[in-house]
Amino acid sequence: MRLTGNARLAGIMGWPVGHSRSPALHGFWLDEHGIDGAYVPLAVRPERLERALRALPALGFRGCNLTIPHKQAALAIVERVEPMARRIGAINTIVVGEDGSLEGRNTDAYGFREHLSETAPEWDPRGGAAVVLGAGGAARAVVAALQETGLRDIRLLNRTRERAEILAADLADGMAGIAVGDWNSRAAALRDAGLVVNTTSLGMHGQPPLDLDLDGLPPRAVVVDIVYVPLETPLLAAARRRGHTAVDGLGMLLHQGRPGFEAWFGAPARVTPALRAAILDTLR
Q: Which residue stretch of 28-36, 168-176, 197-205, 246-254 sits at the interface with ligand ATR (rule: CB under 6 A)?
A: 197-205
Q: Which residue stretch of 30-38, 81-89, 93-101, 196-204 sits at the interface with ligand ATR (rule: CB under 6 A)?
A: 196-204
Tell me whether strands 61-66 and 245-247 are parallel, antiparallel or unpaired.
unpaired
CB of 131 to ligand ATR, least distance (A): 14
> What are the phi and psi torsion angles at 128 (to 5°)?
135, 170
Q: Round to whole Å and give the CA distance between 74 and 79.
A: 10
CB of 267 to ligand ATR, least distance (A): 29
Closer Cβ to ligand ATR, 88 or 275, answer by number: 88
Closer Cβ to ligand ATR, 30 or 190, answer by number: 190
Q: Supply the residues annotated as catalytic.
A: 71
The residues near 93 (Cβ < 8 Å, ≥ 6 apart) are: 63, 64, 65, 66, 104, 105, 106, 107, 259, 260, 263
CB atoms within 10 A of CB 151: 23
User: Of these, 163, 165, 181, 280, which contacts ligand ATR (CB under 6 A)?
Assistant: 163
> What are the phi and psi torsion angles at 66 (to 5°)?
-125, 140
Q: Which residue stretch of 11-19, 39-47, 158-166, 254-262 sits at the interface with ligand ATR (rule: CB under 6 A)?
A: 158-166
Closer Cβ to ligand ATR, 177 or 183, answer by number: 183
CB of 61 to ligand ATR, least distance (A): 25
Specify whether the CB–CB gap between 62 and 96 falls below 8 A.
Answer: yes
Helix 137-148 crosses helix 161-171 at what angle (to 10 degrees)? Answer: 40
* CA distances from residue 179 to 171, 193, 203 in whole angstroms, order as listed: 12, 13, 24
The answer to the question of residue 160 lying near ligand ATR (CB under 6 A) is: yes
Give the binding-site size for ligand ATR (rule: CB under 6 A). Answer: 14
The answer to the question of residue 184 lying near ligand ATR (CB under 6 A) is: no
The residues near 251 (Cβ < 8 Å, ≥ 6 apart) are: 111, 114, 115, 118, 119, 271, 276
CB atoms within 10 A of CB 128: 21
Q: Round to whole Å and give the CA distance between 220 and 194.
A: 7
Closer Cβ to ligand ATR, 212 or 222, answer by number: 212
Buried b / exposed e over 266-284, threshold 16 CB at 10 Å, is: ebebebeeebeebbeeeee
Closer Cβ to ligand ATR, 10 or 132, answer by number: 132
CB of 186 to ligand ATR, least distance (A): 10
User: Of these, 33, 148, 201, 231, which contacts ligand ATR (CB under 6 A)?
Assistant: 201
- Site residues for ligand ATR, 116-155, by CB under 6 A, read 134-139
CB of 180 to ligand ATR, least distance (A): 12
Binding site for ligand ATR (CB under 6 A): 134-139, 158-160, 163, 199-202
